[in-house]
Amino acid sequence: MDCHVRTEQRGGRTVWILNDTDSEASASILPSFGFNLFDLKLPAAGALRPLVVAEPGWEQAPQHPAKHGFPVLFPFPNRISHGRFDWEGTSYRLPLTKPPHAIHGFALDADWEVTDHGEGPDGAFLSGRYRLAKTFPDGSPRWPSEGYLDLRYALHGRTLVLDATVANESDGDLPYGLGFHPYFRLPFGSGGSLSRTQVVIPASQAWVLDETIPTGEVRPVSEALDFRRGKSMQGLRVDAVLTGLEHNAEGFVVCRLIDESLGAEFRIGFDAIPFREIVVFTPPFGDDIIAIEPYTQTTDAINLQQRGVDAGLRILKPGQQESMRITMETAEC
């Protein structure tokens, strides 16, 4: 195995780059702005394919963190209704980052600590840590407990593995949700046909939304939201929270982006427990771009859960931690 890790300075920021020499795959990460995986190139159909979407040069002066690359959403993904929730007798008011709601947590534009890097049995790797306490050093009561999120990217061959660990380092319970908001390009090749693509998501249910906030009701997917047999990117417009996920024998949910012209596909897989929701979103800035977002909870879970709705909110006791995995790879089809 021939792999390595290197750094480059771009616009005064340090970019970490993982390389696999044999496959020529690469992954570029910006720790100083959300530990964002803003560029991923994997081999498919005889060529190296850029799969993750960010504007050229974005890493030199990054902004709009939820619209580029592979944003990390912690301690909550998506919205908290009106930025308000109560927890164990305390009321919390969050910045309205997408008025009238708070959205996507605090980690996606934070300066993360690089904790480890190198070459190991699973390839070139980079590890980083985000601490909740660092976001609000003035002690503002923005979240019930302190904790941290560790991420580790490892690149080997045509596969990138992301391991995440959340830990509670406080005296009280830590409620949290974790999500990722990656933007992928389909078709993979320049000049590819949108009509010769397929998006496959093994979800049988969808949350009913009222102006982006779940009502608490879950229904079987409509025809427009049923991706189990695949849907073309041609004319696709969607913004939905899907659930009822089917997993394989290894306990992984696998979503597939298929480029029929190339005879190749990209797969993103993740642990069925705790990743129990997927947001699927087609942004307005590109017909060939789709976000497939694994979440541990639905939108506004911290409020829904306290209404008696099983919304997926994770709760860690003092000293507890839990880990989960996401894989990304290309394959022939």
pLDDT digits (tens, 9 = 90+) for 99-119: 999 999 999 999 999 999 999
Collect contacts of 7-11 with beta carbons under 8 A, ≥24 apart: 10/57, 10/59, 10/60, 11/57, 11/59, 11/60, 11/61
Per-chain mean pLDDT for the chain:
95
Identity of the amino acid at 53:
V
State the pLDDT at residue 203. Answer: 98
Query: Domain boundaries in the chain?
Result: 3-332
List CB contacts of 132: < 8 A, sequence separation 6 or more.
75, 106, 143, 145, 146, 147, 148
State the pLDDT at residue 67. Answer: 95
> Domain 3-332 carries which CATH code?
2.70.98.10
Other Cβ atoms less than 10 A from the Cβ of 87: the count is: 16
Segments in the chain forming alpha helices (H): 132-135, 301-304
Segments in 89-246 forming alpha helices (H): 132-135
Report the candidate in 258, 268, 267 with the shortest Cα–Cα distance to residue 333.
258
At residue 136, does pLDDT exceed 80?
no
pTM confidence score:
0.96
State the pLDDT at residue 191. Answer: 77
State the pLDDT at residue 139. Answer: 59
State the pLDDT at residue 1. Answer: 62
Identity of the amino acid at 290:
I
User: Tens of pLDDT along 138-172?
Assistant: 656 689 999 999 999 999 999 999 999 999 999 99
Distance CA 132, CA 110 (A): 10
Read off the pLDDT band of 333 (50, 70, 90): confident
Question: pLDDT over 70 for what percent of the chain?
Answer: 97
At residue 225, does pLDDT exceed 90?
yes
**CA atoms in the 13 A half-sphere facing the CB of 118:** 4
Measured in degrees and rounded to the nearest 5, phi and psi for residue 192 equal: -70, 160
Give strand ranges (E) for 63-145. Answer: 72-73, 79-80, 84-87, 90-93, 102-103, 113-120, 123-131
Alpha carbon separation from 302 to 102, 110, 219, 311 (Å, rounded):
12, 22, 21, 8
User: Tens of pLDDT along 227-254?
Assistant: 999 999 999 999 999 999 999 999 999 9
At residue 137, does pLDDT exceed 70?
no
At residue 190, does pLDDT exceed 90?
no
Alpha carbon distance, N-terminus to C-terminus of the chain: 25
At residue 135, does pLDDT exceed 80?
no
